[in-house]
Amino acid sequence: MKFQATWRARDIVGGGALALALTLGGSTAGLADSPAKVDHSRPNAAPVYPDTAQYAGEQGDVLVDVQVSPSGHPHRFRIKQSSGFQDLDIAAMDTAANWHYIPAVVDGDTATAWTTVKIHYELPQPTGAAPALPADEHELNDHCARPVAPAAIDGAVATEAELASARENLQDFLKTSDRYQVCLRRYVGGQEDLAMFVKTTVPEWIRKGVETRIAQNQKDKEAAGARYNEAALTYKAKHGQ
């Protein structure tokens, strides 16, 4: 079972939690002042939970301050609250550095501002014995069904509702892909709980099969994200956003 990680953006000025709205972005003209925040109109990678941290039983919360430029790019980072583990803190900063952000708006213009991202690392709880090893490739496929990537959409003709639906389909695919890779890794490790990971004697065809499937699924995730990003940019360009 994979780790559980959650995150949210917080208004560092007001100190309260922000509502995380799924938006399509757009011009800032005429908008009321607003703080910098994570951009949910574009896919953001799930927080990385280092294997070494999981094996060591490390977990906790990390608060990362992110300085967002007027163009929406993250420029500076600092740990506001440490998890108590350096590898988790570094992983949280690396994660925040690769997310997309919406800049703050002050008096109708975008401005440099700080926002805070919270990432929660929690080890999975054991749910029973590991499954029996598959006897052949077909049985491995039956145990761990490969998810199907969502179809591409044309941002030039898509409606706002269709683009929003495509974003939801992508997010569902990414979550399903994570579960798929967890399923595959269980056969390699022989343990469902990664914190109790012990290398066991596993047939070489299983190891190679798992490695190949995980690598292909990573490519599928990247391709699906790229297709959505292209469609979203085309949509925004057409609508002057």
All residues at 6 or more sequence positions from 18 whose CB lies less than 8 Å from its CB, including other chains: 8, 9, 10, 11, 35, 37
Return the domain boundaries, the chain: 4-122, 137-238
**What pLDDT sits at residue 188?**
65
4-122: CATH topology is TolA/TonB C-terminal domain (3.30.2420)
Residue ranges, the chain, pLDDT below 50: 1-4, 9-30, 190-200
**What pLDDT sits at residue 53?**
81
**What pLDDT sits at residue 83?**
94
**What pLDDT sits at residue 28?**
39
Angle subtended at Cα 124 by Cα 134 and Cα 115, rounded to the nearest 5 degrees: 130
Euclidean distance between the first and final Cα of the chain, in Å?
Answer: 41
pLDDT digits (tens, 9 = 90+) for 138-197: 676 777 888 999 999 999 999 999 999 999 999 999 988 888 887 777 766 544 443 333
**What pLDDT sits at residue 12?**
37
